[in-house]
């Protein structure tokens, strides 16, 4: 039996890799293609490219980064896939801490979350877990979500979780020192739209003015980034 032998009863699973770094895509591709039943059917750097690929090739699973080229992030892409192609699984592979984004990703339709620093040793296990229709999360995150489910926050109206995905994205950018104009340019949106989102953020978090919003956002970023 040669290395190229493929038993007839093995079902091939197609994978789409969505990440704006070509080198990262190639690295993940090399790891996954060592598995005889996993094939990479396409690569994309933006949400638009990803949806074009999904329409064309119908992958079984899409591995998606949070940060993508264009003005649609990975969370919104996952939501679109869930709505339009509910049979296709999504797995997040990101450099962003799972403590910040994983819960939002899961709520948007992702079936797993893996950090890029763990990809080389865990990506195959993560993919197979998700393809088996199971949730892939680290032990630490699983415990956090369980604790959160058991112990509801006393005043959820003031929680960051009340922000929409776009509002949350803008809140983080404010906390990282970006001006309204810079955020608009970065996200491909108008200044008016950004100001409207910031107004909603202030209302939801009961923040009285832009200065307090900036202080609040900076403190949040410092607390949640090591």
Among 2-6, 13-17, 83-87, 111-115, which stretch is predicted with the lowest mean pLDDT? Answer: 2-6
* Spatial separation of the C-alpha atoms in residues 165 and 170, rounded to whole Å: 9
pLDDT tens digit string along 126-140?
Answer: 999 999 999 898 766
> Which secondary-structure segment (H or E) carries 77?
helix 74-84
Residue by residue, what is the 3-state secondary structure of 85-135?
Answer: CCCCEEEEEECCCHHHHHHHHHHHCCCEEEEHHHHHHHHHHHHHHHHCCCC
- 76 touches 105 (CB < 8 A): no
**Structure-token pair, residue 177:** 């020192």
Confidence of residue 195 (pLDDT cuts 50, 70, 90): very high
> Would you state the pLDDT for residue 1?
40
Q: Is the pLDDT of residue 104 over 70?
A: yes
Give pLDDT, residue 225: 58
* 45-to-35, 48, 59, 154 alpha-carbon distances in Å: 24, 9, 16, 40
Provide the pLDDT for residue 71: 85
The mean of the pLDDT values for the chain is: 86
Q: How far apart are CA 106 and CA 186, in angstroms?
A: 25
**How confident is the model over 31-59, as pLDDT tens digits?**
999 999 999 999 999 999 999 999 999 99
74 vs 108: CA distance, rounded Å: 10
- Identify the band that residue 60 occupies on the pLDDT scale cut at 50, 70 and 90: very high
Phi first, then psi: what are they for 14, rounded to 5°?
Answer: -95, 135
Domains of the chain in start order, with CATH, are 13-146 (3.40.50.2300), 156-224 (1.10.10.10)
- pLDDT, tens digit (0-9, with 9 covering 90-100), for 94-103: 888 777 788 8
Instruction: Provide mean pLDDT across the span 4-29.
Output: 84
Which pLDDT band holds residue 143 (cuts at 50, 70, 90)?
Answer: low
What percentage of the chain has pLDDT greater than the value 90?
A: 52
pLDDT at 208 over 80: yes
Q: Give the model's pLDDT for residue 210.
A: 87
- Written as six digits, the tokens of 84 are 């339009």
Identify which of 89, 42, 41, 47 has the alpha carbon closest to the alpha carbon of residue 66: 47
pLDDT for the residue numbered 211? 86
Phi, psi (rounded to 5 degrees) for 92 = -85, 130
Please name which of 145, 146, 140, 98 lies closest in space to residue 119, comparing C-alpha atoms: 98
């Amino acid at each position: 039996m040669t290395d190229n032998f493929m038993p007839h009863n093995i079902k091939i699973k197609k994978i789409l890799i969505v990440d704006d770094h070509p080198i990262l895509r190639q690295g993940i591709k090399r790891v996954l293609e060592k598995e005889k039943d996993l094939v990479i059917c396409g690569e994309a750097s933006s949400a638009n490219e990803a949806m074009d690929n999904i329409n064309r090739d119908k992958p079984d699973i899409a591995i998606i980064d949070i940060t993508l080229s264009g003005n649609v992030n990975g969370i919104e892409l996952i939501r679109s896939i869930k709505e339009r192609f509910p049979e296709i699984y999504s797995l997040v592979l990101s450099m962003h801490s799972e403590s910040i984004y994983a819960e939002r990703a899961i709520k948007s339709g992702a079936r797993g979350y893996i950090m890029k620093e763990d990809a080389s040793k865990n990506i195959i296990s993560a993919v197979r877990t998700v393809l088996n229709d199971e949730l892939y999360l680290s032990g630490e995150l699983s415990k956090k979500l369980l604790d959160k489910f058991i112990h509801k926050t006393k005043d959820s109206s003031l929680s960051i979780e009340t922000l929409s995905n776009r509002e949350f994205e803008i809140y983080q950018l404010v906390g990282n020192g970006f001006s309204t104009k810079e955020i608009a340019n970065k996200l491909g949106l108008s200044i008016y739209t950004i100001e409207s989102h910031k107004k909603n953020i202030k209302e939801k978090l009961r923040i009285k003015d832009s200065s307090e919003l900036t202080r609040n956002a900076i403190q949040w970023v410092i607390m949640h980034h090591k």
